[in-house]
Chain A
Amino acid sequence: MKFTGERIPILNRGDQLREGKYYLHSSFERALNYSNAGRFISMVTPEVGSGPDSLVWCELPEDALHEIEIGGLEGGATPWMSWGGNRILLDAVPVFDSALPRFSAGDRGAFGERIQLFEHLLKKHAPERSLVFLLDTEREELFRRGFEEALLQRFRKGAGLLREQRYLECFTELRGLGWGLTPSGDDFIAGVAMALRFHGSSLDLDGATLTGILSDEASSSLSTHLIRRSFQGLICARWKTMIQTLKTGKEVEIERALLRVLDVGATSGADTSTGWLLGLRGENWG
């Protein structure tokens, strides 16, 4: 397939895409990740959905593209993307707004009630080996052997620090810890970060205090990037829908939204949800 200056069926593009060349980082069935100097762009299928740095394709290319370039995003030019002699225009592609939803003080009562439901549904649907054991101690039974038992203790300690609002210590404790391509601890921190952003924490979320915690050395670069976005209050469509339904949704809508969130990775969705919930609790929300 060859494209020259065409508008192809890309369903939308994230609002945080930046110009530059990007190189293939990792390739999965539903996502192709590209990176350059700590920046990431993901080309994803509609099932994965929109994100701040994503291009949602109707269907991914059959073969992963090894290098892509994004241009025309600045200075009022026509945005474009190119690869291997192909060039497509992105001007007609809708832009996904990744900003975290904001609630007014008046929404707080109903939100609190729905958060109880969120916790109930999370315990009901979360996969076994996720951090939901921090909410449901019966699940601790699943972590018996040495390495897992040691992980469990570390996560318990991290959650304890969070409850005491010792955020930086909590993040240091959990960064890069646990299972998965994006380690569970990172997913958890991303959830806490969303919660802190959501209720306008007094923590300096953009400041230098977080620099060390967010350094690339502590975990994988992809994981670092995702956490950074959460601290910035820039989130994916699944989580936007989730938070929005916690404001206005019916039970069935909340459950649907949560199931979409839980569909991220093996336990990533559940780990982020646990961080989100405990993060809200840390600031006496929910």
Chain B
Amino acid sequence: MIAKATVKKGEYHDSVALMRVAKLLSEQAGVLDSAVVMATDENKRLLRGAGLSTPDVNAAGESDLVVAVAAASAELADGFLLQAIEALKSRHRELKIGNVARSLDGALKTLPDANLALISIAGRYASAEARKALENGLHVMLFSDNVSIEQELELKQFASSRGLLLMGPDCGTAIINGVPLAFANNVNRGNIGVVAASGTGAQEVTTLISNAGAGISQAIGTGGRDVKKEIGGISFLQALDYLINDPKTEVLLLVSKPPHEAVLKNILEKVKDCKKPVIGTFLGANPELFKGSGMVATATLEEGAYKAVESALGKPVSRTSGNPRFHEVIEIEAAKLRSSQKYLRGLYTGGTFVSETLFLLQGMKGDQHTVIDFGDDEFTIGRPHPMIDFTLRNKRILEEAEKPEVAVLLLDLVLGWGAHMDPLPELLPVLLEAKRKAQAAGRYLPIVMSVTGTDQDPQNRTKVVTALRGAGVIVAPSNASAARFARGVLELSGKDSV
């Protein structure tokens, strides 16, 4: 064994970089032993004991960095050492290349004409940064959550006084001048303007609109709390004003959970004066509220999107639920179920879909249906969002597949920016295994999915849908269709097929 070492005098690298290089070395085939440590007395003693020391190492001080490698030959050891040193250097370079700004001031120097800042930092600091952006005359998309409602109100009042728009906090989706921001999709440009107090809701309607052949002028997010009494819909009303006056927007689509009564009143007053068609999807709201408002109220995101398309293109859009084949397939699927299979399992990554599905399942018999939002705090702490990391939901899919009482698995899959870039290799084997488990127990398990996305998205919706269908998954064009399908199967189930 030949040991080689180098000492980087007074060189400080952060611990993450040191650990990364240490790992890189330890994983190289041919490295017999290695160490990347500060040259403290105790570390030097251990390096000597492990045969990794050299005279340079012995002479190094506690502020010096030691990289040591043992290999079968001097040439190999030299090669590995060189790789480690390059890896340390590259870490330094990574931080300096390109237009990477460390601050808002730096970013503004790089892009002096920018008029919008997307802020995604820890919530407790986000408010100060948003304020600074607004003071610099920038519109703000505030992706961060954990901003207090008092701060939100103050920021929105300030933004509004300057004629600026604050989208958020906790604003996950926007499409501004054709550019998808945060969790958003590549969609057609067009004449439909969207105001949404719901991230997944905005993704669903914008992609459905695009897939139906129409397009988006702007999709403005507001953050879910905007329509609460405390905030008074400041951003929602501003966005509405903007789209009403925007010459490129000819149809408006509003998406939200039911706003506070006073906020809704203000929204409807604006709608009443609007000369453009306005469609509103306020999930779960009483339709009576919208009578006489001049707004076309819809119960689902799908219906909202299609009504908007019909207004924009002046021709009808066919609905899956109106297709006789839809009902035929429901009957076929239901006939395959055993009498023990009675309950739905909705396993979701998008929170708005959960609200929509719960609304569509209202009045169903049975008390053991389950609909879970895997994007809830309870599941996301310490791990990425389930649109990126499928681990927990995949585990649950397999667990549910083993339960004799489960009749239908209802799932969503959201594509686009911010979501998993290559979902199939992680998802397909799990879905196939779920079906296999049920089959091994003498059951058939229908899996119904909606896929939110477009063919312009990096994942390509058609490619994903084709692969899912190939695996026996029933893919619906929207969450509402998927939920209706699942409900249909449950309502017709109850007979043994074997």
- For the complex, is B122 an interface residue (Cβ under 8 Å from A)? yes
- For the complex, is B241 an interface residue (Cβ under 8 Å from A)? no
Closest chain B residue to A31 by CB distance? B14
Residue-wise interface mask of B (13-53) relative to A, using a CB-CB cutoff of 8 A (1 in contact, 0 not): 11110111011001000001111111011110011011110
Given the known A-B contacts A62-B105, A181-B15, A220-B63, are A47 and B125 also in contact in the complex, defined by CB atoms under 8 Å? Answer: yes
Q: Which of A62, A127, A146 contacts B33 (CB 8 A)?
A: A146
Contact status A179-B18, CB under 8 Å: yes
Contact status B12-A59, CB under 8 Å: no
Residue-wise interface mask of B (105-132) relative to A, using a CB-CB cutoff of 8 A (1 in contact, 0 not): 1100000000000000110110011001
Tell me the chain B residues, 238-296 only, with Cβ under 8 Å from chain A: none
Closest chain A residue to B64 by CB distance? A220
| B26: chain A residues within 8 A (beta carbon) | 145, 148
Contact status B125-A11, CB under 8 Å: yes
Given the known A-B contacts A47-B125, A265-B14, A267-B15, are A147 and B33 also in contact in the complex, defined by CB atoms under 8 Å? Answer: yes
Residue-wise interface mask of A (172-200) relative to B, using a CB-CB cutoff of 8 A (1 in contact, 0 not): 00111111111101000000000000000
Contact status A259-B381, CB under 8 Å: yes
Closest chain B residue to A153 by CB distance? B46
- For the complex, is A46 an interface residue (Cβ under 8 Å from B)? yes
Residue-wise interface mask of A (123-161) relative to B, using a CB-CB cutoff of 8 A (1 in contact, 0 not): 011010100000000000000011110110010000000
Q: Which of B33, B36, B105, B381 contacts A1 (CB 8 A)?
A: B105
Name 19 A/B residue pairs within 8 A (Cβ), A-sorted: A26-B12, A27-B12, A59-B103, A59-B105, A124-B382, A146-B70, A154-B42, A154-B46, A176-B41, A176-B43, A177-B43, A178-B37, A179-B37, A180-B18, A181-B14, A183-B42, A219-B38, A221-B62, A221-B63
Given the known A-B contacts A181-B12, A268-B15, are A218 and B34 also in contact in the complex, defined by CB atoms under 8 Å? Answer: no
- For the complex, is B150 an interface residue (Cβ under 8 Å from A)? no
Tell me, in angstroms, the Cα distance from A81 to B312 when the chains sit together. 60
- For the complex, is B102 an interface residue (Cβ under 8 Å from A)? yes
Contact status B19-A129, CB under 8 Å: yes
Given the known A-B contacts A176-B43, A181-B38, are A259 and B382 also in contact in the complex, defined by CB atoms under 8 Å? Answer: yes
- For the complex, is B104 an interface residue (Cβ under 8 Å from A)? yes
- For the complex, is B328 an interface residue (Cβ under 8 Å from A)? no
Tell me the chain A residues, 237-286 only, with Cβ under 8 Å from chain B: 252, 255-256, 259, 265-268
Return A169 CB to nearest CB of chain B, in Å. Answer: 14
- For the complex, is B56 an interface residue (Cβ under 8 Å from A)? no
Q: How many A-B residue pairs have CB under 8 A?
A: 144
| B125: chain A residues within 8 A (beta carbon) | 11, 46-47, 58
Residue-wise interface mask of B (364-402) relative to A, using a CB-CB cutoff of 8 A (1 in contact, 0 not): 000000000000011001100000000000000000000
Contact status A180-B105, CB under 8 Å: no
Contact status B19-A266, CB under 8 Å: yes
Return B306 CB to nearest CB of chain A, in Å. Answer: 39
- For the complex, is B95 an interface residue (Cβ under 8 Å from A)? yes
Contact status A11-B19, CB under 8 Å: no
- For the complex, is A9 an interface residue (Cβ under 8 Å from B)? yes
Instruction: Kindly list the 7 A-B residue pairs having the minimum CB-CB distance in the complex, ordered from nearest.
Output: A176-B40, A59-B103, A46-B125, A266-B19, A265-B15, A26-B12, A180-B15
Q: Which A positions have Cβ atoms within 8 angstroms of B?
A: 1, 9, 11, 25-29, 46-47, 58-60, 62, 124-125, 127, 129, 145-148, 150-151, 154, 174-183, 185, 216-221, 252, 255-256, 259, 265-268
| A181: chain B residues within 8 A (beta carbon) | 12-15, 18, 38
Return B135 CB to nearest CB of chain A, in Å. Answer: 10
| Chain B interfacial residues counted at CB < 8 A | 49
| A11: chain B residues within 8 A (beta carbon) | 125, 128
Given the known A-B contacts A145-B26, A181-B38, A220-B38, are A28 and B14 also in contact in the complex, defined by CB atoms under 8 Å? Answer: yes
| B122: chain A residues within 8 A (beta carbon) | 46-47
Contact status B19-A175, CB under 8 Å: no
| A124: chain B residues within 8 A (beta carbon) | 382
Contact status A255-B382, CB under 8 Å: yes
Return A161 CB to nearest CB of chain B, in Å. Answer: 14
Tell me, in angstroms, the Cα distance from A270 to B58 when the chains sit together. 29
- A46-B124, A175-B42, A219-B62 provided; 17 other pairs, C-beta below 8 A? A1-B105, A25-B12, A27-B12, A29-B102, A47-B122, A129-B22, A129-B23, A178-B37, A179-B22, A179-B36, A179-B37, A181-B38, A217-B62, A221-B62, A221-B63, A252-B378, A267-B19
Tell me, in angstroms, the Cα distance from A47 to B377 when the chains sit together. 20
Contact status B42-A176, CB under 8 Å: yes
| B132: chain A residues within 8 A (beta carbon) | 9, 58
Given the known A-B contacts A29-B102, A47-B121, A266-B18, are A150 and B46 also in contact in the complex, defined by CB atoms under 8 Å? Answer: yes
Contact status A147-B62, CB under 8 Å: no
Given the known A-B contacts A146-B50, A147-B34, are A185 and B42 also in contact in the complex, defined by CB atoms under 8 Å? Answer: yes
Return B33 CB to nearest CB of chain A, in Å. Answer: 4
Tell me, in angstroms, the Cα distance from A185 to B34 when the chains sit together. 19
Return B103 CB to nearest CB of chain A, in Å. Answer: 3
Contact status B62-A176, CB under 8 Å: yes
Tell me, in angstroms, the Cα distance from A243 to B42 when the chains sit together. 31
Return B92 CB to nearest CB of chain A, in Å. Answer: 10
| A25: chain B residues within 8 A (beta carbon) | 12
Closest chain B residue to A46 by CB distance? B125
Contact status B102-A59, CB under 8 Å: yes
Tell me, in angstroms, the Cα distance from A135 to B445 when the chains sit together. 43
Tell me, in angstroms, the Cα distance from A146 to B34 when the chains sit together. 8
